[in-house]
Amino acid sequence: MRLGRGWSSIYAMSDQHAAVLALHWQVNVIRPEGFFGPMLADPVAASGVVQRAADFHKHAAELGLPIICTRFTVPEGEGRLVRNTGFMQAVGAAQHEFRPEAAGTQLIDEIAGRADRIVDNQKLSGLAGNDLPRWLAENDIDTLFLTGVATNLTVEQTARHGTDLGFTVYTVADCVAAADPQVHTASLANIALVSAGLRTTEDAFDDLD
């Protein structure tokens, strides 16, 4: 994991015990030239989610919350990639496009500048196959606000996983997107049922002091 801009001094200003987990805001997922661009780039652009998420991250940072960005990468040797689903088989076959240094793996500019910490893994859940859960616990973070793409993939998987790990997980509903609006809506309904629920950019931090 890598630290970004002055993280320790920023988080020291906050006693909220919360963080933003920004999931898969990388070129391969968001941009037309990325690996998943043919499926996701147009609906993501049409949704306006990138700018909303960037603004939300800025607001969170101003409150002192760390912004932790996850990237799906495949290092030489495949790391902890397990090809047990069609998704994992596809990225395994195209793993050169997911190398940590590859252009498609990089965070998009709108999100990268706010990243306090960048965590790579080879799993759908941002909390799997890395030491992020332990790091969060060691830093007294027990509440997560999720943003990212796609709603029905990394976002829902992370919401379920984080909840099972004991975190209070809120998904910021207007800061996530999927390839299909109906799938997006259905996934949000699942997330609302199995986690602490949904928030929006308007009310996400209402309960914070």
Taken in order of first residue, the domains within the chain and their CATH numbers are 2-143 (3.40.50.850)
Q: Is the pLDDT of residue 9 over 50?
A: no
Where residue 118 falls among pLDDT bands split at 50, 70, 90? very high
Return the beta strands (E) in the chain as ranges. Answer: 2-3, 18-23, 67-72, 117-121, 143-149, 168-177, 197-199
pLDDT above 90 as % of the chain: 90
Where residue 208 falls among pLDDT bands split at 50, 70, 90? confident
- pTM metric for this prediction: 0.92
Q: What is the pLDDT of residues 146-202, one digit of tens each?
A: 999 999 999 999 999 999 999 999 999 999 999 999 999 999 999 999 999 999 999
Of the candidates 52, 29, 55, the one whose C-alpha atom is nearest the C-alpha of residue 151 is 29
pLDDT of residue 207: 82
> How many whole angstroms separate alpha carbon 192 and alpha carbon 173?
10
